[in-house]
């Protein structure tokens, strides 16, 4: 039996952090052997709200490639491709665009939120506005069965399914599938400052590319219990980022020790610095191999780009077939 196809994408706008690692990257590494896997570096989508900063998007591609390599994505197994190198996606986009309405996009909850954030009001750039259709084209370019994404992307997949159904129905064909979202287990990774989410603009991230010294510095700055002044004050474990990270990064063999530390923290018989020392040790076990591989990746940037370009060619030829079938349905093949 043929393996099912999965497709995910990232906007190349910066380096990845431990929230990405726990939230989606680890999952991709697991899925790459089970499925026929496509990972898109969505540089055209990234330009839709960074068109005046192309260097950021260009540099972002290299950062993504290094991060992928570092976490163990297998470049010979997964098809890592660059969106702008698969122009058939734009072609599929324009064919799909006949089936999308302004109202439908306006009602897309993700677009609504982003419109409010960007305060575009009456001057919304079309490049931004139509990106749900373009993202549907990403998915249909390889006719993906599954799309591993976070919850915020569900409306995009719903739109893609709708466009696929309308296209098929109009021409009486069965060309575009019904992609399904694959929601990972929700893992909330707070920022080192205690903010609910880790985010580049919040300046509260631990990056996969951080050196050991940077990691140590950040770990010792992690938000704990601000009301605890002395080591013998009883402390709070809930909402304490040091313990949240300990839970996320420790393995089974360390659980007992960590539970004991939590007990002592609540009692006021352990110092913050001791907890953070342990945290650094636990996180470094996970992050060191990633850091080492990232160093390796930096030495082979050209090779990684070359592999991504080769995969882009593979994806191009698959997308060509999809686009040709669509053309045939629309009676524009000559
Ligand atoms: N919009 C996605 C994000 O911001 C990235 C993305 C682009 C994507 N194309 C995709 C995700 C196709 C899934 C499938 O995270």
- Per-residue pLDDT tens over the stretch 204-242: 999 999 999 999 999 999 999 999 988 899 999 999 999
Q: Are 220 and 181 in the same domain? A: no
Q: Could you identify the atom of ligand 1 that is nearest to the CA of residue 134?
A: 9
Residue 2 pLDDT > 90 = no
Q: What is the pLDDT of residue 243?
A: 97
**Do 307 and 260 share a domain, yes or no?**
no
Centre of ligand 1 from the C-alpha of residue 10, in Å? 5
For residues 57 and 185, membership in a common domain is answered with yes
The predicted pLDDT at position 150 comes to 85
Q: Mind giving me the DSSP string for 251-314? A: -HHHHHHHHHHHHHHHHT-S-HHHHHHHHHHHHHHHHHHHHHHHHHHHHTHHHHHHHHHHHHHH
Q: In 84-211, where does DSSP find H-type helix? A: 88-97, 102-106, 109-118, 126-129, 131-141, 154-171
CATH number of the domain to which 171 belongs:
3.40.50.620
Query: Chain-wide mean pLDDT for the chain?
Result: 95
Separation of 238 CA from ligand 1 center, angstroms?
33
Say whether pLDDT at 185 is over 80: no
Ligand 1 nearest atom to the CA of residue 10, by list position: 5
pLDDT tens digit sequence for 153-184: 999 999 999 999 999 999 999 999 999 999 87
Ligand 1 centroid – CA 273 distance (Å) = 40
- Asked if residue 214 and residue 73 are part of one domain, the reply reads no
**Percent of the chain residues past pLDDT 90, beyond the cut:** 89
Evaluate: CB of 139 within 6 angstroms of ligand 1: yes
The verdict on 119 and 225 lying in the same domain is no
Cβ contacts of 75 within 8 Å, gap of 6 or more: 68, 69, 304, 307, 308
Reading the block at residue 66, the tokens are 């290094």
In a domain, 82, yes or no: yes
| 138 Cβ inside 6 Å of ligand 1 | yes
Assess whether the C-beta atom of 24 lies below 6 angstroms from ligand 1. Answer: no
Report which of 169, 161, 171 is spatially closest to residue 140, judged by C-alpha positions.
Answer: 161
Q: Is 195 within a domain?
A: no
Judged against a pLDDT cut of 90, whether residue 188 lies above it is answered with no
| Ligand 1 pocket check for 8: Cβ under 6 Å | yes
134 and 13 in one domain? yes
| Probe residue for ligand 1, chosen from 6, 11, 89 as the CB with the greatest number of ligand atoms within 8 Å | 11
Report the SS3 class of residue 82: strand
Question: Residue 271 falls within a domain, yes or no?
Answer: yes
pLDDT at residue 330, rounded to an integer: 98
pLDDT reading at 201 higher than 90: no
Is 77 found in the same domain as 50? yes
Distance from the Cα of residue 153 to its chain's centroid:
11
Residues 86, 88, 89, 91, CA torsion sign: positive
Residues 183, 206, single domain; the answer is no
Q: Kindly report the CATH number assigned to the domain that includes residue 240.
A: 1.10.240.10
pLDDT of 10 > 90? The answer is yes
* Rounded average pLDDT over 247-273: 96
Are 164 and 25 in the same domain?
Answer: yes
pLDDT value of residue 246: 97
CA distance 122 to 113: 15
Which structural domain, as residue segments, surrounds residue 307? 5-189+301-329
Helix (H, G, I), strand (E, B) or coil at 207: strand
**Same-domain status, 151 and 207:** no
Tell me the pTM.
0.94
Tens-digit pLDDT profile for residues 84-125: 999 999 999 999 999 999 999 999 999 999 988 888 877 899
Is residue 194 in a domain?
Answer: no
Task: Report the residue among 16, 38, 42 best suited for mutation to probe ligand 1: largest number of ligand atoms under 8 A from its CB.
Answer: 42
Both 316 and 231 in one domain: the answer is no
9 and 115 inside one domain: yes
Atom of ligand 1 nearest to the CA of 131: 1
Cβ distance 66 to 35 under 8 Å? no
- CB atoms inside a 10 Å sphere around CB 187: 13
Q: Structural domain tally of the chain?
A: 2
Token pair belonging to 42? 């969505």
- 334: in domain: no
In this prediction, residue 231 carries a pLDDT of 85
Tokens 């490049």 identify what position? 127
For tokens 């400052």, what's the residue?
Answer: 193
Report the 3 state secondary structure along 5-72: EEEEEECCCCCCEHHHHHHHHHHHHHHHHHCEEEEEECHHHHHHCCCCCHHHHHHHHHHHHHHHHHHC
- pLDDT reported for residue 118: 83
């Amino acid at each position: 039996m043929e393996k099912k196809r999965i497709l995910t994408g990232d906007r190349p706008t910066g380096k990845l952090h431990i929230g990405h690692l726990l939230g989606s990257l680890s999952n991709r590494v697991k899925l790459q052997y089970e499925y026929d896997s496509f990972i898109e570096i969505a540089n055209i989508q990234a330009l839709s709200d960074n068109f005046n900063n192309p260097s950021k998007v260009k540099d972002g591609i290299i950062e993504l490639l290094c991060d992928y390599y570092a976490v163990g994505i297998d470049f010979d197994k997964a098809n890592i491709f660059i969106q702008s190198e698969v122009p058939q996606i734009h072609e599929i986009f324009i064919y799909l665009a006949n089936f999308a309405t302004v109202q439908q996009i306006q009602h897309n909850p993700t677009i609504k939120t982003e419109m409010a954030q960007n305060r575009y009001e009456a001057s919304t750039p079309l490049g931004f506005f139509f990106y749900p259709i373009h993202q549907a084209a990403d998915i249909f370019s390889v006719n993906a069965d599954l799309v591993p994404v976070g919850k915020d992307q569900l409306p995009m997949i719903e739109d893609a399914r709708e466009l696929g159904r309308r296209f098929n129905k109009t021409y009486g064909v069965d060309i575009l599938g019904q992609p399904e979202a694959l929601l990972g287990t929700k893992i909330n990774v707070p920022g080192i400052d205690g903010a609910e989410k880790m985010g580049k603009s919040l300046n509260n991230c631990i990056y996969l590319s951080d050196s050991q010294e940077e990691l140590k510095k950040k770990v010792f700055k992690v938000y704990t219990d601000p009301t605890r002044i002395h080591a013998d004050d009883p402390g709070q474990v809930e909402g304490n980022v040091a313990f949240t990270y300990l839970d996320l990064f420790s393995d089974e063999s360390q659980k007992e020790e960590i539970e004991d530390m939590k007990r002592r923290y609540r009692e006021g018989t352990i110092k913050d610095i001791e907890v953070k020392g342990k945290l650094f040790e636990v996180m470094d076990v996970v992050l060191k191999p990633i850091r080492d591989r990232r160093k390796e990746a930096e030495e082979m940037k050209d090779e990684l780009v070359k592999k991504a370009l080769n995969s882009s060619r593979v994806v191009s030829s698959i997308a060509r077939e999809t686009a040709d079938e669509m053309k045939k349905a629309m009676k524009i093949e000559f």
